[in-house]
Amino acid sequence: MKILIIGSGGREHALVWKISQSPLVKKIYCAPGNAGISEIAENVNIESTDITGLIEFAIKNSIDFTVVGPELPLTLGIVNEFEKRGLKIFGPSKEAAEIEGSKVFAKYMMKKYKIPTAKYESFNSQKDAKDYVSKIGVPVVIKADGLAAGKGVIICNTIEEAVRAIDSIMVEKLFGSAGNKVIIEEYLKGEEASFMVFSDGEDILPIASAQDHKQIYDGDRGPNTGGMGAYSPAPVITDSIAKEIIDTIIRPLISGMKKEGKTYKGILYAGLMIVNDSPFVLEFNCRFGDPETQPILMRMKSDIVPVMLSVVEGRLKGKEIQWSNEPSVCVVMAAGGYPDKYEKGKEIKGLDEAKKIENLVVFHAGTSILIPPHPPLAKGEKGGFKVVTNGGRVLGVTSLGTNFEDAINRAYKGVGLIKWDGAYYRRDIGRKAIPISRKSVKIST
């Protein structure tokens, strides 16, 4: 098979890495890809939102199967357009992707189909939103309705913070048109976790659990990011809680989407808060999580391609996935200043050294290849190139370990070998997974 993967982040590198292991696959293209992806796939200079260009490429190159990584092309209807032309593609339709494209719609679905979530109200007027906060008090969570690259959520502990958040989202357009509407919901206190499933519109196949670290600073402090690291499995999701998630959240949502005429095929991601052993939905996403995909796919022993094909072809029932018992940890290395302003073009060193660590993979996210100008080469001389930063989240250093301490130490050993000017990373990724009795164990960084 010839496969086209759409996207350029760490999630897409992990998908390319996993899909390349399938004996069914002969050639992989990635549009637009990144420096790391170029080592195992052919990068194509087409943006993930250029649906017409991607269709033309798929037809011209006889692509057998396309996998969509990021949410934006899904919400723009890339699946609908590919399918109109008889092209096989993995991901939900534009109508189904609204579950991520609009938090107001997601809340409507949860309310209608009795899916546990925080109490909320939605507003398209900043005055009404501010009046509501004054009425209910704080803490509250204020969310932009539309897509905001995982950053459109602000936790407010004072009325002043809430007013500033509403102004930032609705007036100053911090997240662009995503902030035309806001949701204000109660603050849930518990443990966050991520739970994903494959769905063919009827049946589901659960994926290993994971936990993301959304905030920029150690100890879960500071503004939200796209994710500063993740680990799998998430010990907070026990077998009984997993069953409750499937019975009270996943199945009702999949069934409800079908009733609404928005049959859901692809990956359904539920961002959860576990409160007193009960799961509540914080958000739904219509694609693989990033960076959760990186540690999850490190643990997946089964071939992912037949599973994806089963989703598209409506024959998921009876499929199984085998998982490694070893935990996995992903530490995100980001550009200094992220999630706000940051510089690009910084040379990354130490990648080759990190690759030598057993059971460790460096997944690229915001990277590109810089070929510096040079004079004509002498016979037999090779031209050089540099891998440079090209985004906020730059790398996801991901490892398997015999236990969480081992996986954490292995990941941070890799992190310690990689350098660039201004590199930043959290130093506490995965610590939550270590049993309380062993929290005193020193994690080397």
The string of DSSP codes covering 350-363 is: -HHHHHTSTTEEEE
Burial class (CB in 10 A: 0-12, 13-18, 19+), 438: exposed
Mark residue 356 as left, alpha or beta (left: phi above 0; alpha: psi -120 to 50; beta: remaining): alpha
- The pLDDT score that the predictor gives to residue 321 is 97
- The pLDDT score that the predictor gives to residue 436 is 45
CA distances from 438 to 232, 357, 443 (A): 18, 25, 11
- The pLDDT score that the predictor gives to residue 153 is 87
- Here the tokens at position 176 are 């662009």
443 half-sphere exposure, CB direction, 13 A CA radius: 24
Instruction: Output the CA torsion 62→66→72→76 (10° steps).
Output: 60
User: Rounded to an integer, what distance in angstroms lies between the CA atom of residue 284 and that of residue 268?
Assistant: 7
For 402-426, what is the mean pLDDT? 97
- The pLDDT score that the predictor gives to residue 379 is 54
Q: What is the pLDDT of residues 263-305, one digit of tens each?
A: 999 999 999 999 999 999 999 999 999 999 999 999 999 999 9
- The pLDDT score that the predictor gives to residue 384 is 66
**Residues forming CATH 3.90.600.10 domain(s) in the chain:** 328-373+383-438
- Evaluated on CA atoms 195, 427, 360, 151, the torsion sign reads positive
For 246-266, what is the mean pLDDT? 98
The per-residue pLDDT of the chain, averaged, comes to 93
More confident position, 335 or 153: 335
Percent of the chain with pLDDT over 70: 95
Q: Which stretches of 145-190 are assigned E, i.e. beta strand?
A: 153-156, 182-186
Pick the CATH number of 328-373+383-438 from 2.60.40.10, 3.90.600.10, 3.40.50.300, 3.30.420.10: 3.90.600.10
> At 160, which helix (H) or strand (E)?
helix 159-166
pLDDT category of residue 371 using cuts at 50, 70 and 90:
confident
pLDDT category of residue 435 using cuts at 50, 70 and 90:
confident
Distance linking the first and last C-alpha atoms of the chain: 41
Q: Which fold has domain 2-91?
A: Rossmann fold (3.40.50)
**Strands 215-217 vs 211-212: parallel, antiparallel or unpaired:** unpaired
Q: Tell me the sheet residues that pair with 393.
A: 334
- The pLDDT score that the predictor gives to residue 150 is 66
Instruction: Output the DSSP codes for 296-345.
Output: HHHHB-S-HHHHHHHHHHT--TT----B-SS-EEEEEEE-TTTTS-----
pLDDT category of residue 383 using cuts at 50, 70 and 90:
low
pLDDT category of residue 152 using cuts at 50, 70 and 90:
confident
CATH says 190-313 is which class?
alpha beta
pLDDT category of residue 376 using cuts at 50, 70 and 90:
low
329 half-sphere exposure, CB direction, 13 A CA radius: 27
Residue 381 has pLDDT above 80, yes or no: no
**Residues forming CATH 3.40.50.20 domain(s) in the chain:** 2-91
**Residues forming CATH 3.30.470.20 domain(s) in the chain:** 190-313
- The pLDDT score that the predictor gives to residue 374 is 55
CA distances from 169 to 118, 195, 282, 345, 371 (A): 20, 28, 19, 30, 40
Q: What is the pLDDT of residues 296-333, one digit of tens each?
A: 999 999 999 999 999 999 999 999 999 999 999 999 99
Q: What is the pLDDT of residues 20-44, one digit of tens each?
A: 999 999 999 999 999 999 999 999 9
Percent of the chain with pLDDT over 90: 86
SS (H, E, C) 73-119: HHHCCHHHHHHHCCCCEECCCCCCCHHHHCHHHHHHHHHHCCCCECC
Cβ atoms 363, 295 nearer than 8 A = no
More confident position, 385 or 70: 70
Residue 174 has pLDDT above 90, yes or no: no
Residue 304: how many other CB atoms lie within 10 Å = 17
- The pLDDT score that the predictor gives to residue 177 is 87
User: Rounded to an integer, what distance in angstroms lies between the CA atom of residue 437 and that of residue 203?
Assistant: 40
Q: Between vectors from CA 340 to CA 350 and to CA 272, what angle results, nearest 5°?
A: 90
Query: Phi/psi of residue 232, each to 5°?
Result: -145, 140
Cβ atoms 327, 321 nearer than 8 A = no
- The pLDDT score that the predictor gives to residue 245 is 98
Q: What is the pLDDT of residues 183-193, one digit of tens each?
A: 999 999 999 99
CA distances from 328 to 197, 204, 244, 323, 324 (A): 19, 24, 24, 11, 9
CATH says 119-186 is which class?
alpha beta
Instruction: Output the DSSP codes for 14-49.
Output: HHHHHHTT-TT-SEEEEEE--TTGGGTSEE----TT
Burial 79-99 (b: 16+ CB within 10 A, else e): bbbbeeeebbbbbbbbbbbbb
- The pLDDT score that the predictor gives to residue 437 is 35
Which residues make Cβ contacts (< 8 Å) with residue 372, sequence separation at least 6?
384, 385, 386
